[in-house]
Amino acid sequence: MWLYLVRRIVLAMVTLALAVALLHVMIRAVPGDPAAIILGPRATAEQRDKLRERMGLDQPFYVQLGIYFVDLAHGDMGVDVMTGRPVSRIVFEQLPYTLVLILTAIAWAAVLGIPLGCYSAIRRNTLADRVSGILSVSVIAIPAFVMSLYSLLLFAVTLKWLPATGAGDGFFNRHLLLPAFAVGVSWVGYLARVVRASMLEVLGETHIRMNRAFGLPEARIVFRYALPLAILPTVTLLGVGMAYLLSGAVFAEIVFARPGIGTLIVNAVGNRNYPIVMGCVVVTTGLFVIATALADVVNALLDPRARESL
């Protein structure tokens, strides 16, 4: 297990380095002068040159990349050229809002989707299963922004039960409910369908049939023997899902005017604010690697076969 963790960490660092290098290449391939955008139209050519120099953009590509890696190793992500604040501070100020949003979204989706999937599998081909299937596919098919807008109109504008925008004080409050609902709703459908499919497969396996032959209670068979196996693909899906939710959080943060890393990236890309873009990518890539590694570890804990293969 420890060897596995070391391997994952090394792999994570390689992934991170590749992502940063790739992004450096992409940023330079895309037209657009950050100095012109940051300084505005009234700046002179000399002022723009000075800013480019300050941002290190006058250096060759490999030098810029080398400096970035050295700084990163020292925990320095650079300085935001717009506000003069450290990038790490800006990114880590915004990150908790995004993390809270996606974790809440995936948590409520899992709490609802997994039991729904189990129930559908157990009651296969009944009316309840069909209704659950239709609902699951519907929420997958309805774009999340449509759901966001209608939930805003219903709960914030018409009923005035919930605030429409902002993050409020602290992290867990009423402001979180609508965005978490919008981000997580399609995941209820996904999880229900995945759990149902894997549950049906597991329920048909020999050891389950053997349990039944021994006369074990059906609830024990389902929750003690079937669900831990059926949940494995779901755990992997949740790990990867974190990455999708990171990108999905962008729309929620804009529609609900919430702080977060999604809004930060969108603005930074538009402004060609390279230090912020790079800082965000480093952090989100790190998060993605951690999420997938965690999913593998949880898989290993749940399934001895997976543990052996690590």
Partner 1 sequence: MSNIHRSRIRRNPAAVSIPRRRFLQGTAAAGAFATTLPVSRVAWSAQDNVLRARGRADLDKLDPGFYQNSYNVDVMNCIYSKLIHYKPGRKWGWKLQAAEKIEQVDPTHIRFRLRPGIMFTGGYGEMTSEDVKFSFERVIEHDSPVKGDWGPLDHVEIEDKYTGVIVLKKPFVPLWNITLPYGAGHIVSKKAVMKATGDGGDFGMKPPCFSGPYVLDEWKPNQYAMLKRNKDYTGPDKAEFDEIKVVPMQDEKTAQIAYESGDIDYALVSLSSLDKYEQNPPPHSSIENYPSLFYVWIGMNTDHPKLKDINVRKAIQWAINVPQIMDTVYFGKADAATGIIAPGLVGHRDKSLVPPEGDLDKAREYLKKAGVDGLELTIDTLNASKWKSIAEIVQAQLGQIGIKLQVNVQDSGSFWTLGMESEGDRWKDLQLIVNRFSMAPDPYYATEWFTCEQVGVWNWERFCNKQFDQLNEEAIGETDPDKRGAMYRKMQDMMEESGAYRFITHEATPIMYRNNRMEVAMRPDGNPLYRYFHSV
Question: Segment 114-133, which members bind partner 1 (CB under 8 A)?
Answer: 115-116, 119, 122-126, 128
Distance CA 15, CA 169 (A): 36
Comparing CA positions, the residue from 93, 56, 274 lying closest to residue 167 is 93
Of residues 210 through 229, those in contact with partner 1 by CB under 8 A are 212-213, 217-219, 222
96 binds partner 1 (CB under 8 A): no
- Tally the residues of the chain: 310
Q: CB nearer to partner 1: give 17 or 37.
A: 37
Q: CB nearer to partner 1: give 109 or 297.
A: 109
| Among the residue ranges 1-9, 18-26, 261-269, 292-300, the one whose residues contact partner 1 (CB under 8 A) | 261-269
39 binds partner 1 (CB under 8 A): yes
Q: Which two tokens stand for residue 97?
A: 């809002």
Q: Which two tokens stand for residue 103?
A: 């974790």
Comparing CA positions, the residue from 247, 260, 299 lying closest to residue 90 is 260
Q: CB nearer to partner 1: give 148 or 285.
A: 148
Q: Exactly one of 93, 138, 146, 240 binds partner 1 (CB under 8 A); which one?
A: 93
143 binds partner 1 (CB under 8 A): no
Q: Exactly one of 4, 12, 15, 48 binds partner 1 (CB under 8 A); which one?
A: 48
Contact at 8 Å (CB) between 60 and 48?
no
Distance CA 117, CA 124 (A): 10
Q: Exactly one of 2, 157, 214, 308 binds partner 1 (CB under 8 A); which one?
A: 157
Contacts of residue 293, defined as CB under 8 A and 6 or more positions apart, other chains included, come to 5, 8, 12, 239
37 binds partner 1 (CB under 8 A): yes
State the number of binding residues for partner 1 (CB under 8 A). 77
170 binds partner 1 (CB under 8 A): no
11-238-22 Cα angle (round to 5): 40
Q: Exactly one of 1, 14, 53, 83 binds partner 1 (CB under 8 A); which one?
A: 83
> Shortest distance, CB of residue 239 to partner 1, whole angstroms?
22
25 binds partner 1 (CB under 8 A): no
What is the b/e burial string over 33-64, where b = at least 16 CB atoms within 10 angstroms of the residue's CB? ebbebbbeeeeeeeebeebbeebebeeeeeeb
Q: Exactly one of 14, 257, 301, 309 binds partner 1 (CB under 8 A); which one?
A: 257
209 binds partner 1 (CB under 8 A): yes
Burial of 75 (0-12, 13-18, 19+ CB in 10 A): exposed
